[in-house]
Amino acid sequence: MTMTITRLRAEGMLKELRAMPPVDKGDQQLSKQEAINVLAPEIRAMSKRGYSTEQIASTLTRLGLNISTTTLRNYLQRSKASAKKATKPVANKLAQTGHAEGDVV
In tens, the pLDDT along 6-44 reads 999 999 999 999 999 998 888 889 999 999 999 999 999
pLDDT at res. 50 = 97
Residue 16 in any domain: the answer is no
pLDDT at 97: 62
Please report whether residue 11 resides in a domain.
no
**What total of structural domains would you count in the chain?**
1
pLDDT score, position 18: 96
Residue 2 lies in a domain: no
| Residues 72, 58: Cα–Cα separation, whole Å | 10
Which structural domain, as residue segments, surrounds residue 88? 30-97
Is 48 a member of any domain?
yes
| Residue 72 in domain | yes
Question: CA triplet 29, 31, 37: central angle to 5 degrees?
Answer: 110
Query: Which is higher by pLDDT, 54 or 100?
Result: 54
Question: In terms of pTM, does the model score above 0.95?
Answer: no
Residue 90 resides in a domain: yes
pLDDT at 105: 43
Letter string b/e over residues 9-30, b meaning 16 or more CB atoms within 10 A of that residue's CB: eeeeeeeeeeeeeeeeeeeeee
Residue 62 within any structural domain of the chain: yes
